[in-house]
């Protein structure tokens, strides 16, 4: 692994751009989040040294992320090119003619003229339109036939127009990645695949496949997840209570969270822990002043249970549901 520091921790992407190996996740349940919390967190994070922010139109707070970035640029704390923003195309906007307007909506909210990375959030298409979680009168999900290659071509046009620097995907399995990689006339390869990844779900096979194809793995929920039973499988114990992570933490005078994050960045996996608590935002960034031994890395890898926290079971009958396949 190349040398990573708090001041310099970008890793290369296959298209010649680069991505900071740690970012701040900005998803927070809109109903449970005070207005302004997200903007305050992004500003604190920039002051601490974060340069990568992971967001989405779906999160309903891109305007706050944009305000925080604008403010820090105006202050002279950072330049636009220091910042790396990842936005996401939601499932109701997979129809090719809806891709550009969706990206433009994100850019308008952020008040930016480009994003650094734009990714397909899930490989499943839902009924196109403004209803983000479309259901019929009986509460049944309204799906749409996916054409991931057509969606990808629309994204390639956005890159050609200069609205996005790099293109990627999220929650794609191997078959879905191959669909794009093997597309006739492919212009730009996906540079990244954002998936759940942490010591209890280490993704060995998908990680190996992505490495073979020069695709960077970005780990969401790198510390496990909130324990919201509506969308989280709570049969797995909380990751941060793990005995090994805590004992390694004692050895290095670090927390279990810092050990879990260090484990992934040391494997070249980008981490995007979400927190809106200033002390946590700071703690999560302090992972560049220690490293784990090869044996310790192996013992953390051995914690893998192959059980996901984020299963998206409500969509398991979608033809493109990604998690039926082994990887």
How many angstroms separate the CA atoms of 96 and 142, rounded?
Answer: 18
- Annotated binding site: which residue ranges? 144
Strands 84-89 and 115-120, bridge-based pairing? parallel
Strands 192-196 and 216-220, bridge-based pairing? parallel
Q: Annotated active-site positions, please?
A: 59
How many angstroms separate the CA atoms of 72 and 295, rounded?
Answer: 41
- Annotated binding site for substrate: which residue ranges? 144
CA-based nearest residue to 310, from 217, 200, 206? 200
Backbone angles phi, psi at 93, to 5 degrees: -120, 25
Own/partner long-range contacts of 142-145 (Cβ < 8 Å, ≥24 apart): 143/318, 143/319, 144/94, 144/95, 145/319
């Amino acid at each position: 692994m190349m040398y990573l520091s708090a001041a310099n921790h970008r890793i290369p992407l296959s298209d010649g751009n680069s991505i900071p190996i740690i970012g701040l996740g900005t998803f927070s349940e809109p109903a449970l989040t005070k207005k302004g919390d997200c903007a305050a967190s992004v500003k604190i994070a920039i002051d601490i040294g974060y340069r990568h922010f992971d967001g989405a139109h779906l999160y309903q707070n891109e305007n706050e992320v944009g305000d925080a970035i604008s403010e820090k640029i105006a202050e002279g704390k950072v330049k636009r090119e220091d910042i790396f923003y990842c936005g996401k195309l939601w499932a109701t906007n997979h129809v090719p003619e809806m891709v550009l307007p969706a990206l433009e909506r994100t850019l308008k909210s952020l008040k930016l003229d480009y994003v650094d990375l734009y990714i397909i959030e899930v490989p499943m298409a839902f009924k196109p339109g403004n209803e983000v979680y479309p259901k019929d009168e009986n509460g049944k999900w309204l799906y749409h036939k996916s054409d991931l290659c057509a969606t990808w071509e629309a994204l390639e046009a956005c890159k050609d127009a200069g609205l996005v620097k790099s293109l990627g995907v999220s929650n794609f399995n191997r078959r879905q990645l191959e669909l794009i990689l093997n597309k006739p006339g492919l212009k730009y390869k996906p540079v990244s695949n954002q998936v759940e990844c942490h010591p209890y779900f280490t993704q060995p096979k998908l990680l190996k496949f992505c490495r073979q194809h020069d695709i960077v793995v970005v780990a969401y929920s790198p510390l496990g997840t909130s324990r919201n039973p509506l969308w989280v499988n709570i049969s797995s114990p909380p990751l941060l209570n793990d005995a090994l992570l805590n004992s390694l933490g004692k050895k290095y005078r670090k927390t279990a969270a810092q050990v879990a994050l260090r484990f992934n960045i040391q494997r070249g996996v980008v981490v995007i822990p979400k927190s809106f608590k200033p002390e946590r935002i700071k703690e999560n960034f302090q992972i560049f002043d220690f490293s784990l031994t090869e044996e310790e890395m192996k013992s953390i890898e051995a914690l893998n249970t192959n059980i996901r926290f984020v299963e998206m079971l409500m969509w398991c009958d979608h033809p493109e549901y990604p998690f039926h396949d082994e990887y």
